Every structure is written in C-alpha cells, then in structure tokens.
Structure 1
Amino acid sequence: MAEQDWSSYWRSADQPLEAMHAHFVRHVYHRHSHETYSFGVTEDGAQAFTCRGGSHVSGSGMVMAFNPDDPHDGHAADELGFTYRMIHIGPELVTDVLADMTGRPSGPPLFPEPVVRDPLLARNLLALHRALLGNATALRRQEALAATVASIVRRAAVRSMEPAATAPGDARRVAHTVRRHLHDAYLGEVSAGELAAVTGRSRFAVYRAFKEVYGMPPSDYQRLLRLRAARRLIARGVPLGETAARSGFADQSHLTRWFVRCYGLSPGDFQKAALNG
C-alpha cells in the first residue's frame, strides 16, 4: 500500500467481531465479500464502490451496510482519499443480540441499501468502534454492541434475509449447485468443465448464472473461500507460509497480495490483531 495509506485492526478473541480503522488514498479493494455483516462510517472524504449491481458513494458521516456475502469493491472517490471505520459482526452474533433483546428467536435481518444517511446510526457505530479499539471494559463493549445492533436493525433493516430471488429459478439452482461444489472443492483445482458437469449446463450458462446470483465469477468465489480459510488459520497463529499452503495459495507472497487487495491489511497485521484481541 502507498505511504499515505494506513490501517489498524482489532479482532475479538471469543466472538465473531472485528473492527478496522483506515485511511486510503491509492489502495483499491478488489471485489470481495465477508461472511459477516459489515457496518461502516466514512469519517472524512468519500469512498466509491459497486454493490448489488449499482454504483455508490459514501461521504463524510454516511453509514455503509453490507449483508453477509454482499460482493463489493472500493476506492477513493478523489485524490484526497477517505478515512473510515468498519465493524464486522458475525450473523449468529447479530441474531443472538436480537433474540436477547426481544425474548424470542430472530431471523437474520436484511439491509437493502448499501449507503444510509442517518446521523444517529453514524454516532452509534462510531461509539461502538471506539469502544472496541479503545480500552473500554468488556461490559461496555457488550452494551455498545447491543445498542448499535438494535439501532441499525430498527432504522435500516427491512426483513429477514432470504435466498436471492431476482434471478430466474433455473439460474438460482445452477448457482447454488456451483456454490455447494466450490465449498467442497475450493482447495483443489476446479475447472469450468467440472462445474458444467455437476450442473448439467454449458460453461457459459454456469458462469452467467453464478455471476447473476452471487455477483462474481466462480473463480473469484473460490479465491474468496481460500482467503476465508486463510483468515481462520492466521487467527489461530499458524505461520503464514504454512497458511498459504494449507489454504490453496501458491506461496506466502501470493496469499499476501490477495489478502491486502481484499481486506486492506497484510496477513501479518491481521495475525497480530487476532492474537492480541
């Protein structure tokens, strides 16, 4: 990353909860997604990104809301760059917080808009972020998490998440079959012919259906699964060279290159945050 770019990362030792504070001028996020909900606030400047088939800009004070597996990219909207804070919350933690608040099971919420103009939400997210990265007590962090989840669900969510329904039924079936196959075989070499065989469709039909439903080609999704596997190994303290080999990357530099492009920090910095969380 360029000298003007910086980032800091925090990761909980016992919950699916992470936080990032960063300033980017030149860094460009490759299209990727997270297993978590991702909520952010742009503190300064503006970030441009594509998500769910549209182009968006998050300026100072705006909130970003990504559902799990929402493919998105990102870059500075101008030469001055942008500063933002991002919080990643596992879907199981979100539903646990909601169930605790309501006294009954709750389905995972859906956030329909990637950019939300809501000063109160922005303040709540900033308060939670500062509690996570600061020296707040565990109790204060839990209180801030509950308050923020309640606020953002009440003010920005519309309903429980459902499988993608905008694509035709056959395209969804093909895409879901490919997704299951990639989850089973992502560490190995997967060919377009192999995906065509498991779906009974042409290579082009497979590519088109998967991209329509999941927002990226099967090859990008396979690499994303490898990155997620690498994150889990890194968080456990597995050496980076071994992590690269076990998660399907050619070598450590290959892993590092894609880790930075998709997550905005190096595997080494992520490991420090994970082991010190």
Structure 2
Amino acid sequence: MTGPSREWATYWRSAEMPLEAMYASFLRHRYHRHSHETYSFGVTEHGAQTFTCRGAGHTSAAGMVMAFNPDDVHDGHAAHEQGFTYRIVHIGGELLTDVIADVTQRSAGSPLFAAPVIDSPALAARLRRLHTALSHGAGPLERDELLHTAVTALTRLAARTPARPPALPRTPAVAHLAAKTRQLIHDHYADPISADALAAWTGASRYAVYRAFRTTYGLAPSEYQRQLRLRAARRLLARGHPAARVAAEAGFTDQAHLTRWFTRSYGVTPTQYRLARAD
C-alpha cells in the first residue's frame, strides 16, 4: 500500500526475464517526469489519468490503453477527484525482437507508437488478461502464450499506424554536443557532476550544454542522471540488495532520497519493489 487509504499499489516482476507488472489505484499521487528502458503498456480500469508525453498532454480514460516506447519521458496524475485505477506491464525490448522485425520491419527499441493513448477495447482486454496471468502466478507456458499474443496485437496495431519520427536536433552540432554530454553522464552517473564539469568536458557553455541536451533527450542533464540512478537502483533491488546499500551504490544521498524519487517515479517504494513476488 502507498499513501492515503484510497491509494494502493501491488507489484510483480519476473526473476528470469525483463517483464514486470503493476496494479495500482491513485488519488493524490503524482508521477514525476520519468522514463523506462522497456516498452510499457497500461490499461486504465476506472477513472482517468492525464499525463504529458512528447511535448503534448494526453488523457487515458477507463478502457483505454497507454503505450510508451522505451525512453518516452512522461509524468501522470488523476484527471479528476475520483482518482484512477490502472494496470501496467513493462516488457523488455528483447522479448519483442522477433515479432517487431516480422510485423513492422523495425528493430526492437525503436519507436513503435505514434500516440501514447490507444482506444482499443480488444487490445485492452488482451493486456488485462496478460497482467492477470502474470500477477496470479500463471505457469510459464500460459504466460509466454499470453505475452506473445499481446505483443503481436500491439505491434500489428503499430504497423497500421506508422510511428511519428522523433524530433531531430536542429543541427548536427547540437546532436554531437548532447551525445558527448550524455556519455559523460553515463560513465559517471553515480558521481556528483556539476554543470561546469559538463561544460569543460564538451568545450561548450553551460547554457549551450543544457539547451542541446534538453532539445535532444527531453530531460535536463540532472533529470537524466537521476533516471540512470533509478534504473541502477531497480537492477540492484531486483537482486535482493537492501535499499540503504542500493542508495549508496546508485548515487543517492541516502535511503530517504532514493525512496522519495523511486516512489515519485514508479509509484511503489524501493522495498515494495525488492519484495515484489517473482516467478
């Protein structure tokens, strides 16, 4: 459980593949801007939630599907005072590789969905069956079959609606500057990094670095660094490491700092995630 009595969340993750599922109901919780390494597919069951993604606002009402490509930056909160209840499944790109290549002629990890909200009752039903099977301990064969049918339906839908190409940086110089900044953050995500250090590394001004990075990746450098720390924390927690140790290894100030950002980004605490039932 999280938050007030009308808010709760349960989490499931696989011990053997990049596959996770959450079932939650939120009234006051507000997701901070974040992204996932996976494809993420949510089904709103009650109420409605509103969020921003790819520079625009969207609302998912009951029966609608949310489809996020890897690294799609988004936030989210209840659209009205009744709150919302939803299920979401996170699926690693490697589990979609064969289907994506066969149906869309694209590689896994490339954007599939032009819009992050899909009004498809049939697709919502497939995702709900998959989520229920995962969270209620379905056997490996049933789980894999439901995963395959859901992924096939999703990619076929994406193939019928060509994905909107990502916004390109204004110049190659902007792309190069952003990529060079990104590499330093990747190499030292757990370490303190200052704006001056990024400027010195790239040979550009602090303002130029910030503008290029935000334009290219949709997040400020500090937000991107925090995403890398949170993803590292998820990996360590999934291996059973305690939250205090994870906080130190992933670059957070302390356990409270990790807990605050983990909950704001994922809707569950680090301990809830670590203790999630895995197959």
Q: TM-score, normalised by structure 1?
A: 0.93
1:211 and 1:81 map into 2 onto residues whose CA distance is 31
Change (3 A) 1:96 1:39: same
**1:6-85 map, 5 Å:** 6-85=8-87
Moved more, 215-224 or 166-175: 166-175
1:2 CA drift (Å):
2.4
1:76 and 1:177 map into 2 onto residues whose CA distance is 37
RMSD: 2.0
Secondary structure in structure 2 of the residue aligned to 1:143: helix
2:246 and 2:212 map into 1 onto residues whose CA distance is 32
**Equivalent of 2:184 in 169, 181, 184:** 181
Change (3 A) 1:182 1:164: farther
Paired position in structure 2 for 1:114 = 116
CA contact under 8 A between 2:87 and 2:131: conserved in structure 1? Answer: yes
Q: TM-score, normalised by structure 2?
A: 0.92
Moved more, 264-273 or 190-199: 190-199
Paired position in structure 1 for 2:220 = 217
Paired position in structure 1 for 2:251 = 248
1:204 CA drift (Å):
0.8
1:199 CA drift (Å):
2.0
CA contact under 8 A between 1:234 and 1:267: conserved in structure 2? Answer: yes
1:202 and 1:183 map into 2 onto residues whose CA distance is 20
1:125 and 1:105 map into 2 onto residues whose CA distance is 23
1:72 and 1:98 map into 2 onto residues whose CA distance is 23
Change (3 A) 1:248 1:67: same
1:103 CA drift (Å):
10
Instruction: Give runs of ≥4 in structure 1 deviating > 6 Å.
Output: 160-163
2:25 alignment partner AA: H
1:50 alignment partner AA: T
Paired position in structure 2 for 1:230 = 233
Secondary structure in structure 1 of the residue aligned to 2:4: coil
Moved more, 172-181 or 154-163: 154-163
The C-alpha deviation readout for 1:100-146, integer Å capped at 9, x for no partner, is xx499851252111111111111111111111111321101100111
1:201 CA drift (Å):
1.8
Count of matched residue positions in the alignment of Structure 1 and Structure 2: 274
CA contact under 8 A between 1:164 and 1:172: conserved in structure 2? Answer: no
Secondary structure in structure 2 of the residue aligned to 1:265: coil
